[in-house]
Amino acid sequence: MIAPAEHGGRCFGTDWRSDLDLTLFDRATPVIDRGAIRVRLTPTVQDRTLQRISPRVERAADGFRLRWQDEAIFDAYADGRIEVVPGEQWRGTLPIAFYSTVAALLLASQGLLPMHMSSVVIDGHAWLIGGAGGAGKSSLAAELVAGGAQFLADDLTVLHPQPEQLLAARGRPAMRLYPAMAERIDHDLDPAIADDDRGKRLIRPRHRAADDRYPIGGIVILNDDAPTPSSGPDKLRLLSQNIFRPRIVRQMPAIATIHRHLLSLAQVQNVAVLPQPAGQGLTDAAVRMRQLFAIGEG
Protein backbone atom coordinates (compact mmCIF):
# COMPACT_ATOMS: atom_id res chain seq x y z
CA MET A 1 0.00 0.00 0.00
CA ILE A 2 1.39 3.40 -0.99
CA ALA A 3 1.34 5.96 1.81
CA PRO A 4 -1.06 8.87 1.08
CA ALA A 5 1.74 11.43 1.47
CA GLU A 6 3.96 9.83 -1.16
CA HIS A 7 4.49 11.74 -4.41
CA GLY A 8 5.47 10.32 -7.77
CA GLY A 9 7.52 11.85 -10.54
CA ARG A 10 9.10 10.95 -13.85
CA CYS A 11 12.26 12.53 -15.26
CA PHE A 12 15.51 11.60 -17.04
CA GLY A 13 13.98 8.28 -18.08
CA THR A 14 13.59 7.29 -14.42
CA ASP A 15 10.72 6.94 -11.93
CA TRP A 16 10.93 8.85 -8.64
CA ARG A 17 9.05 8.32 -5.35
CA SER A 18 9.23 11.02 -2.72
CA ASP A 19 7.96 12.15 0.66
CA LEU A 20 8.04 15.68 -0.82
CA ASP A 21 6.30 17.10 -3.87
CA LEU A 22 8.48 16.79 -7.00
CA THR A 23 7.37 20.13 -8.43
CA LEU A 24 9.97 20.39 -11.22
CA PHE A 25 9.51 16.84 -12.55
CA ASP A 26 6.59 15.44 -14.54
CA ARG A 27 3.94 14.26 -12.11
CA ALA A 28 3.30 10.54 -12.12
CA THR A 29 1.68 7.84 -10.02
CA PRO A 30 4.29 6.56 -7.54
CA VAL A 31 5.80 3.37 -8.93
CA ILE A 32 7.04 0.68 -6.57
CA ASP A 33 9.80 -1.25 -8.29
CA ARG A 34 13.51 -1.76 -7.91
CA GLY A 35 14.34 0.87 -10.51
CA ALA A 36 12.55 3.79 -8.89
CA ILE A 37 14.57 6.39 -6.99
CA ARG A 38 13.26 6.89 -3.45
CA VAL A 39 13.46 10.32 -1.76
CA ARG A 40 12.93 10.26 2.01
CA LEU A 41 12.65 13.11 4.49
CA THR A 42 14.63 12.19 7.60
CA PRO A 43 15.54 14.15 10.75
CA THR A 44 19.23 13.26 11.07
CA VAL A 45 22.18 12.25 8.91
CA GLN A 46 23.55 8.73 9.00
CA ASP A 47 27.13 7.84 9.92
CA ARG A 48 29.15 7.39 6.72
CA THR A 49 32.81 7.33 5.76
CA LEU A 50 33.18 10.43 3.60
CA GLN A 51 35.89 12.29 1.68
CA ARG A 52 35.41 15.95 0.76
CA ILE A 53 35.82 16.56 -2.98
CA SER A 54 34.33 20.07 -3.26
CA PRO A 55 33.10 22.78 -0.86
CA ARG A 56 29.62 21.18 -0.87
CA VAL A 57 30.13 17.55 -1.85
CA GLU A 58 31.65 14.59 0.00
CA ARG A 59 31.94 11.21 -1.65
CA ALA A 60 31.42 7.77 -0.14
CA ALA A 61 32.01 4.28 -1.50
CA ASP A 62 28.25 3.94 -1.99
CA GLY A 63 27.29 7.46 -3.09
CA PHE A 64 27.78 11.02 -1.82
CA ARG A 65 26.61 13.75 0.55
CA LEU A 66 25.77 17.26 -0.65
CA ARG A 67 25.19 20.20 1.68
CA TRP A 68 23.01 22.88 0.12
CA GLN A 69 23.66 26.13 2.00
CA ASP A 70 21.82 25.97 5.38
CA GLU A 71 18.70 24.59 3.72
CA ALA A 72 19.26 20.84 3.49
CA ILE A 73 21.71 17.95 3.45
CA PHE A 74 21.27 15.30 0.76
CA ASP A 75 22.61 11.82 1.50
CA ALA A 76 22.49 9.87 -1.76
CA TYR A 77 23.19 6.17 -2.25
CA ALA A 78 24.02 4.32 -5.46
CA ASP A 79 21.09 1.95 -4.92
CA GLY A 80 18.69 4.84 -5.62
CA ARG A 81 17.99 6.28 -2.15
CA ILE A 82 18.19 9.98 -1.34
CA GLU A 83 17.73 11.03 2.29
CA VAL A 84 16.87 14.71 2.79
CA VAL A 85 17.80 16.22 6.16
CA PRO A 86 16.28 19.70 6.71
CA GLY A 87 18.62 22.50 7.77
CA GLU A 88 18.08 25.71 9.70
CA GLN A 89 16.69 27.50 6.63
CA TRP A 90 14.52 24.61 5.40
CA ARG A 91 11.54 25.95 3.43
CA GLY A 92 9.50 22.77 3.34
CA THR A 93 10.16 22.08 -0.36
CA LEU A 94 13.03 20.58 -2.33
CA PRO A 95 15.49 23.31 -3.42
CA ILE A 96 16.52 23.76 -7.04
CA ALA A 97 19.81 21.95 -6.37
CA PHE A 98 17.89 18.70 -5.91
CA TYR A 99 16.54 18.81 -9.46
CA SER A 100 19.95 19.52 -10.98
CA THR A 101 23.17 18.65 -9.13
CA VAL A 102 21.76 16.02 -6.74
CA ALA A 103 19.81 14.25 -9.48
CA ALA A 104 22.75 14.38 -11.92
CA LEU A 105 25.27 12.99 -9.42
CA LEU A 106 22.94 10.20 -8.29
CA LEU A 107 22.21 9.13 -11.87
CA ALA A 108 25.95 9.19 -12.60
CA SER A 109 26.54 6.91 -9.61
CA GLN A 110 24.00 4.52 -11.13
CA GLY A 111 25.94 4.30 -14.39
CA LEU A 112 24.15 6.95 -16.48
CA LEU A 113 25.88 9.87 -18.20
CA PRO A 114 24.69 13.39 -17.19
CA MET A 115 25.70 16.03 -19.75
CA HIS A 116 25.57 19.80 -19.30
CA MET A 117 23.54 20.11 -22.48
CA SER A 118 20.14 21.15 -23.72
CA SER A 119 18.49 18.95 -26.32
CA VAL A 120 15.67 18.71 -28.84
CA VAL A 121 14.20 15.94 -30.95
CA ILE A 122 14.01 16.19 -34.75
CA ASP A 123 12.97 13.27 -36.94
CA GLY A 124 13.17 10.83 -34.03
CA HIS A 125 16.75 11.74 -33.09
CA ALA A 126 18.11 13.78 -30.20
CA TRP A 127 20.26 16.79 -31.06
CA LEU A 128 22.42 17.92 -28.14
CA ILE A 129 23.67 21.47 -27.48
CA GLY A 130 26.59 21.90 -25.08
CA GLY A 131 28.70 24.80 -23.88
CA ALA A 132 29.67 26.67 -20.75
CA GLY A 133 27.13 28.45 -18.57
CA GLY A 134 25.71 31.43 -20.47
CA ALA A 135 26.84 30.14 -23.87
CA GLY A 136 23.27 30.06 -25.21
CA LYS A 137 22.33 26.37 -24.92
CA SER A 138 18.75 27.02 -23.81
CA SER A 139 18.25 29.85 -26.29
CA LEU A 140 19.44 27.80 -29.26
CA ALA A 141 17.25 24.88 -28.17
CA ALA A 142 14.28 27.27 -27.98
CA GLU A 143 15.10 28.63 -31.44
CA LEU A 144 15.01 25.08 -32.80
CA VAL A 145 11.69 24.44 -31.02
CA ALA A 146 10.33 27.61 -32.61
CA GLY A 147 11.31 26.09 -35.96
CA GLY A 148 9.45 22.82 -35.35
CA ALA A 149 11.72 20.70 -33.14
CA GLN A 150 10.39 19.02 -29.98
CA PHE A 151 11.80 20.11 -26.63
CA LEU A 152 13.64 17.28 -24.85
CA ALA A 153 15.75 18.73 -22.01
CA ASP A 154 17.18 22.01 -20.75
CA ASP A 155 20.70 22.35 -19.33
CA LEU A 156 20.86 18.72 -18.13
CA THR A 157 20.50 15.86 -20.63
CA VAL A 158 20.90 12.33 -19.24
CA LEU A 159 22.14 9.55 -21.52
CA HIS A 160 21.28 5.88 -20.95
CA PRO A 161 23.72 3.19 -22.11
CA GLN A 162 22.50 0.55 -24.53
CA PRO A 163 24.53 -2.33 -26.04
CA GLU A 164 25.61 -0.31 -29.07
CA GLN A 165 24.82 3.35 -28.31
CA LEU A 166 23.73 5.96 -25.78
CA LEU A 167 20.12 7.14 -25.78
CA ALA A 168 18.94 10.56 -24.57
CA ALA A 169 16.04 10.60 -22.10
CA ARG A 170 13.43 13.33 -21.66
CA GLY A 171 14.38 15.81 -18.94
CA ARG A 172 12.55 18.33 -16.79
CA PRO A 173 9.39 19.78 -18.36
CA ALA A 174 10.51 23.41 -18.05
CA MET A 175 13.31 25.59 -19.35
CA ARG A 176 14.68 28.99 -18.34
CA LEU A 177 14.64 31.60 -21.09
CA TYR A 178 14.89 35.35 -21.46
CA PRO A 179 11.39 36.82 -22.03
CA ALA A 180 11.99 37.74 -25.69
CA MET A 181 13.11 34.18 -26.47
CA ALA A 182 10.28 32.66 -24.44
CA GLU A 183 7.72 34.53 -26.52
CA ARG A 184 8.97 32.81 -29.68
CA ILE A 185 7.62 29.42 -28.60
CA ASP A 186 4.22 28.16 -27.46
CA HIS A 187 4.44 27.69 -23.69
CA ASP A 188 2.93 27.84 -20.23
CA LEU A 189 4.47 29.79 -17.35
CA ASP A 190 5.22 28.00 -14.12
CA PRO A 191 3.95 30.38 -11.40
CA ALA A 192 5.46 28.27 -8.60
CA ILE A 193 9.01 29.43 -9.41
CA ALA A 194 10.21 33.00 -8.98
CA ASP A 195 11.86 34.93 -11.81
CA ASP A 196 15.52 34.15 -12.43
CA ASP A 197 17.93 36.78 -11.05
CA ARG A 198 19.22 37.24 -14.61
CA GLY A 199 15.74 38.19 -15.82
CA LYS A 200 14.92 34.73 -17.20
CA ARG A 201 11.53 33.06 -16.79
CA LEU A 202 10.73 29.41 -16.19
CA ILE A 203 8.39 28.18 -18.94
CA ARG A 204 6.98 24.84 -20.03
CA PRO A 205 7.10 24.43 -23.83
CA ARG A 206 3.97 22.78 -25.20
CA HIS A 207 5.78 21.24 -28.20
CA ARG A 208 7.59 18.56 -26.22
CA ALA A 209 9.06 15.17 -27.07
CA ALA A 210 7.33 12.03 -25.84
CA ASP A 211 8.63 10.25 -22.73
CA ASP A 212 11.03 7.97 -24.56
CA ARG A 213 14.75 7.49 -25.19
CA TYR A 214 16.19 8.79 -28.45
CA PRO A 215 19.31 7.92 -30.48
CA ILE A 216 21.71 10.83 -30.80
CA GLY A 217 21.70 12.51 -34.19
CA GLY A 218 24.46 15.04 -33.48
CA ILE A 219 26.11 17.33 -30.94
CA VAL A 220 26.86 21.05 -31.16
CA ILE A 221 29.19 22.74 -28.67
CA LEU A 222 28.82 26.53 -28.37
CA ASN A 223 32.32 27.90 -27.92
CA ASP A 224 34.04 30.93 -29.43
CA ASP A 225 37.54 29.48 -29.19
CA ALA A 226 37.53 25.70 -29.58
CA PRO A 227 37.89 24.23 -33.09
CA THR A 228 35.61 21.49 -34.36
CA PRO A 229 37.27 18.21 -33.29
CA SER A 230 38.99 16.34 -36.10
CA SER A 231 39.79 13.10 -34.28
CA GLY A 232 38.40 10.72 -31.69
CA PRO A 233 40.73 12.00 -28.90
CA ASP A 234 39.73 15.60 -29.73
CA LYS A 235 36.06 14.66 -29.46
CA LEU A 236 36.66 12.89 -26.18
CA ARG A 237 38.41 15.93 -24.65
CA LEU A 238 35.68 18.29 -25.83
CA LEU A 239 32.82 16.09 -24.65
CA SER A 240 34.46 15.42 -21.28
CA GLN A 241 34.40 19.18 -20.64
CA ASN A 242 30.62 19.08 -21.04
CA ILE A 243 29.79 16.55 -18.35
CA PHE A 244 27.39 18.01 -15.80
CA ARG A 245 29.53 19.15 -12.82
CA PRO A 246 32.66 17.60 -14.38
CA ARG A 247 35.09 18.35 -11.54
CA ILE A 248 32.84 16.53 -9.07
CA VAL A 249 31.90 13.63 -11.35
CA ARG A 250 35.57 12.94 -12.10
CA GLN A 251 36.14 12.26 -8.40
CA MET A 252 33.14 9.96 -7.91
CA PRO A 253 33.48 6.15 -7.63
CA ALA A 254 31.65 5.67 -10.95
CA ILE A 255 34.21 7.61 -13.01
CA ALA A 256 35.41 4.46 -14.86
CA THR A 257 31.85 3.82 -16.07
CA ILE A 258 31.45 7.48 -17.02
CA HIS A 259 34.67 7.35 -19.04
CA ARG A 260 33.44 4.28 -20.96
CA HIS A 261 30.23 6.14 -21.79
CA LEU A 262 32.22 9.15 -23.00
CA LEU A 263 34.23 6.88 -25.29
CA SER A 264 30.93 5.64 -26.72
CA LEU A 265 29.64 9.20 -27.08
CA ALA A 266 32.80 10.17 -28.97
CA GLN A 267 31.76 7.66 -31.65
CA VAL A 268 28.91 10.02 -32.68
CA GLN A 269 29.82 11.17 -36.17
CA ASN A 270 28.13 14.57 -36.06
CA VAL A 271 30.04 16.72 -33.56
CA ALA A 272 30.60 20.40 -34.37
CA VAL A 273 31.59 23.64 -32.66
CA LEU A 274 29.70 26.89 -33.32
CA PRO A 275 30.31 30.41 -31.95
CA GLN A 276 28.18 31.43 -29.00
CA PRO A 277 25.04 32.99 -30.54
CA ALA A 278 23.19 36.14 -29.47
CA GLY A 279 20.25 38.08 -30.90
CA GLN A 280 19.85 37.43 -34.62
CA GLY A 281 22.79 35.09 -34.30
CA LEU A 282 20.45 32.53 -32.72
CA THR A 283 18.53 32.18 -35.95
CA ASP A 284 21.80 31.98 -37.89
CA ALA A 285 23.12 29.31 -35.50
CA ALA A 286 19.96 27.24 -35.90
CA VAL A 287 20.20 27.48 -39.69
CA ARG A 288 23.89 26.61 -39.61
CA MET A 289 23.24 23.62 -37.35
CA ARG A 290 20.56 22.29 -39.72
CA GLN A 291 22.88 22.79 -42.70
CA LEU A 292 25.83 21.07 -41.01
CA PHE A 293 23.82 18.01 -40.14
CA ALA A 294 21.34 18.10 -43.05
CA ILE A 295 18.35 18.00 -40.70
CA GLY A 296 14.83 19.17 -41.52
CA GLU A 297 12.39 21.44 -39.74
CA GLY A 298 10.84 18.93 -37.31
Asked if residue 209 is part of any domain, the answer here is: yes
Asked if residue 1 is part of any domain, the answer here is: no
End-to-end CA distance of the chain: 43
Last residue of a domain, one of 68, 93, 110: 110
Asked if residue 157 is part of any domain, the answer here is: yes
Q: Given a cut of 70, is residue 16 above it in pLDDT? A: yes
Q: Do 64 and 119 share a domain, yes or no? A: no
Q: CB under 8 Å to 174, separation ≥6 — which residues?
A: 24, 154, 190, 193, 202, 203, 204
What's residue 194's pLDDT?
53
Taking only the tens place, the pLDDT of each residue in 112-171 is 999 999 999 999 999 999 999 889 999 999 999 999 999 999 999 999 999 889 999 999
Q: What is the pairing mode between strands 72-77 and 166-169? A: unpaired
Partner residues linked to 64 by β-bridges:
59, 76
Asked if residue 196 is part of any domain, the answer here is: yes
Q: What's the whole-model pTM score?
A: 0.93
Q: Given a cut of 90, is residue 295 above it in pLDDT? A: no
Last residue of a domain, one of 57, 78, 110: 110
Percent of the chain topping pLDDT 70? 93
CATH code, 228: 3.40.50.300
Instruction: Give 3's pLDDT tier (boundaries 50, 70, 90).
Output: very low
Q: Do 151 and 179 share a domain, yes or no? A: yes
Q: Do 39 and 185 share a domain, yes or no? A: no
Range of the domain at 23: 7-110
What's residue 161's pLDDT?
94
The tally of domains found in the chain comes to 2
Taking only the tens place, the pLDDT of each residue in 24-68 is 999 998 877 767 899 999 999 999 999 999 999 999 999 999 999
Q: Do 146 and 208 share a domain, yes or no? A: yes
Other beta carbons within 10 Å of 253: 15
Asked if residue 27 is part of any domain, the answer here is: yes
What's residue 193's pLDDT?
56
DSSP state of 12: T
Q: Do 145 and 83 share a domain, yes or no? A: no
Q: Do 55 and 153 share a domain, yes or no? A: no
For 250, what's the count of Cα atoms within 13 Å in the CB-facing half-sphere? 8
- The rounded Cα 237 to chain-centroid distance in angstroms is 20
